Structure 1
């Protein structure tokens, strides 16, 4: 008998966190689901832990494969998913007991294609809820899914640019429950990170929301996002990130052109590119970047002179930003390399204090 929900968990070297994740799934208030656990060539005890859990609970299905990255692992999970609905959980995270029961109820009773919840960031020593200035429940149907959700995934408009920290808060796949037909009927897949560097989930969601006819945002923090994992891909320095993001934005631009989206979407993408100056700059000054200070400074200068970024910054409206961010983007527009470098160091210090 087919399960109602397939939960896809890509796994690579997370022996310290995996039991916490699996326990949170297997103690759900709702039981009619399968966990598709993809061991992506782990070299630690992750596979052994998976096998021990699978022996005790038949709902766990293990795919053991050579390491090929999180996108490939999720795609393998999608190919094996039997459920009417599909969810994703990262193996160092965990979920509240009622998450799938509550999200499925909304999806089934109101015929919703995608249901999204909010989440809590876990830093090891403390927790911090990701706040969304929305009511407890927001419903979007037909064209609204494009105008309110897909466009937001592409990038921010007007006052939305004032909160750079929300740029990708809507793009995560692990905060959502999808009707499987939306994914499978349109052959949706994750793009390999070796090509686009990051945001593979945002790109996936842009395509999913293009085909979805309904979307509900449930402003309840059911998901716990673990930020204290220093071995995760998001905590590492990536020397190729600028060129990879160029390919990501080209994919987004091509999609907008192919589907004949209007000017607002193109402005939103340009704003995303401008805001990405922050993340790309932080990647450059990352403490795991072994380059000398002088070389890092040259990399920041190169970033600010990148044609795509320079063009987007020229058109970026800073009036909606707070004083600090107005200063940052004014300096970025002016390509004041040293001052931008100093601000990036200050931002990184503040982020570490938050963690």
Structure 2
């Protein structure tokens, strides 16, 4: 018998968190699923932990491979997935017991291609729900999937730019469950992070939502996103991020052109590039980057003079931004490097103390 759901878990050196993740999966109210656990060349006890769990529960299927990154691991999981639906869970996160049961109910009753839930950010000392200003359930059918979801994944428009922190809130794969045929019939795969730096989830979802005929958002925080893991790829300084984001944008542009998606999508991408000035700037001043203040300011100047970023900032409309973001992006548009640097320092402090 094929399982109804395949849950793909990519694992690299997660011995401190893996048990918590697997316990949450195996404690689901719904039982007809498989866990495809990909040990991506871990050098800690992750494989041993997996093997111990697999002995106790036959729903766990282990792929043991040499380290090749999270995208490769997820792609390997996709090749082995047997379920009618596919979900993704990261090994330092966990889920509520009713998550897949409730998402599957929606998918089966209404023949939905993609179901998404909201999530809670877990900081170790406290939790914070990611708020979506939407009703308890939102349905998107046919063209609405493109106009409301796909376009939002490409980037924000109008008042959506007011909240840069929500830029990729819709882009995560772990908050979603997909009808497997959407992925397999269109040969969807994850792009390697060594090429694009991050946002492999968003790029995957852009393609998935292009082919999906229906999408439901459940405004229920079933997923717990662990933010206290200092070894996470998202917490490290990446000296190549500007170049990698350039390749990410090129892939997005190529997709928009290939699918003949219109000017709204291209403006949305331009706004994404502008808003990403924040993330790129924070990467420049991150604690993993040890150069002097003078070198960091020089790097920010180089960032602001990047031709693609400069062009996007020039057409970025500030009218929907709050005063603090108007100030931030005014500095970025005018390439006022020192002012932008001081704002980035302040934002980084607030990000760590308030969250």
TM over 0.5: yes
Question: Which category describes the TM-score, using the shorter chain as reference length?
Answer: over 0.9
CA distance in 1: counterparts of 2:155 and 2:26, whole angstroms: 36
Deviations 1:98-138 (A, max 9, x none): 00000000000000000000000000000000000000000
CA distance in 1: counterparts of 2:342 and 2:50, whole angstroms: 45
Deviations 1:197-255 (A, max 9, x none): 00000000000000000000000000000000000000000000000000000100110
Which runs of at least 4 in structure 1 moved beyond 2 Å after TM superposition? none
Aligned residue number for residue 136 of structure 2: 136
Mapped pair 1:71 → 2:71 = yes
CA distance in 2: counterparts of 1:354 and 1:97, whole angstroms: 29
| Secondary structure of 1:229 counterpart | coil
| Secondary structure of 2:237 counterpart | coil
TM-score, L = length of structure 2: 1.00
Aligned residue runs from structure 1 range 34-73, under 5 A: 34-73=34-73
CA distance in 2: counterparts of 1:354 and 1:82, whole angstroms: 43
Aligned residue number for residue 328 of structure 2: 328
Mapped pair 1:228 → 2:228 = yes
Aligned residue number for residue 272 of structure 1: 272
Deviates more, 1:269-278 or 1:284-293: 284-293
Give the drift of 1:354: 2.5
CA distance in 2: counterparts of 1:300 and 1:20, whole angstroms: 40
Corresponding residue pairs, total: 355
Give the drift of 1:164: 0.5
| Secondary structure of 1:146 counterpart | helix
CA distance in 1: counterparts of 2:171 and 2:334, whole angstroms: 30
CA distance in 2: counterparts of 1:298 and 1:327, whole angstroms: 20
Aligned residue runs from structure 1 range 299-318, under 5 A: 299-318=299-318
Aligned residue number for residue 208 of structure 1: 208
TM-score, L = length of structure 1: 1.00
CA distance in 2: counterparts of 1:22 and 1:287, whole angstroms: 32
Deviations 1:230-286 (A, max 9, x none): 000000000000000000001001100110011000000000000000000000000
Aligned residue number for residue 196 of structure 1: 196
Give the drift of 1:48: 0.5
Aligned residue number for residue 160 of structure 1: 160
CA distance in 2: counterparts of 1:244 and 1:180, whole angstroms: 29
Aligned residue runs from structure 1 range 144-183, under 5 A: 144-183=144-183
